[in-house]
Amino acid sequence: MDRSIYSLMLSCDEGSFSYELAEKLKELRKINFTGNFSETDLFFRLAEKTVPDILIIDFEKLTFDHIEIISALKAENKLIIISKEFSEIHIQNLLSDIADFIVYKPCTADDVISAVKDIVFSMENGFSPKNFSDISKYELNKFLQNKITEIIRLAGIPAHITGYNYLRCAVLKCILNMDIFPITKKLYPQLALEFGSTTQKVERAIRHAIEVGWSRSEENTMKHIFGYSFHNNKCKPSNREFIAMVADNIKLENCNVLISFENSDY
């Protein structure tokens, strides 16, 4: 599932914590926060009617009569439960069975926000950053290359020109290792070696690809990638600027993946 916006409902009534969490949820770019419904029965009625993508529930507000309702909702929703750590093993098992994520108290609003971001990532990519130690370097590279390809194509660079492949490889190297700069002394020689070319041909091919993309792309698309102020001055970016800005765009959009991978054993 790859969508831009995910609907989310919250049921939490803990004063300042509830207010702070609601405010932070409103700020999330990929979340359409439909509200905090502290009255539990109303929350479930609305959830059954509107079928939001993500539910966040304070478990201490629930009774066991609600468990059957939650189980039915689980077929259509992702579920985050905020809960204290119960000593009763049957309750712990119950929570584990029905929840995608459990955020244990005491917790902060940022702890819950982190769980929401992980849920969104898993919905879009099929695996969770929490389990990213199970993902190989090959799969990470494949994931990043797909993201790079999306942006390069959006930037108007056609796949048949030589600089297209050079650019894709250059951005990947920049994401995984910022030490590739300066590009003249480090990046171009690496690409020339890998592609059986020369540093001069690599530099010219990348410059040509950027020129083609810059002349063909729509202004709104380039504003999204590079920011309003940069594209508004109509100045074509240098090779270094283009590579660095595409890499930064992808790193910001997929920071959970990269942080989780860096903290893994790979």
pLDDT of res. 204: 95
Q: Is the dihedral of CA 21, 24, 30, 36 positive or negative?
A: positive
Residue-range domain boundaries for the chain: 6-126, 137-262
DSSP one-letter code for 235:
P
pLDDT of res. 258: 59
Q: What's the rounded mean pLDDT across residues 140-145?
A: 74
Superfamily name with CATH number, domain 6-126: Response regulator (3.40.50.2300)
**Strand ordering across the sheet containing 54-58:** 31-36, 6-11, 54-58, 78-83, 101-104
pLDDT of res. 96: 65
SS3 166: helix
The closest alpha carbon to 73, from 95, 99, 92, belongs to: 99
What would the CATH number be for the domain defined by 137-262? 1.10.10.10
Q: What percent of the chain has pLDDT over 90?
A: 14
Query: What pTM does this model have?
Result: 0.49
Calculate the CA dihedral of residues 184, 190, 196, 198 and round it to 10 degrees: 10
With residues binned 3-state (H G I as helix, E B as strand, rest as coil), the percentages for the chain, rounded to 5, are 65, 10, 25
pLDDT of res. 178: 64
- At residue 184 the predicted structure's pLDDT band, cuts being 50, 70 and 90, is confident
Q: What's the rounded mean pLDDT across residues 12-41?
A: 87
pLDDT of res. 229: 47
Q: How far apart are CA 105 and CA 110, in angstroms?
A: 12
Q: How far apart are CA 3 and CA 32, in angstroms?
A: 12
Position 158: which residue type?
Answer: P
Q: How far apart are CA 265 and CA 155, in angstroms?
A: 35
Alpha helices in 87-198 (DSSP H): 89-98, 109-125, 137-154, 162-176, 188-195
Token duo for residue 33? 């926060």
Position 190: which residue type?
Answer: Q
Length of the chain: 266
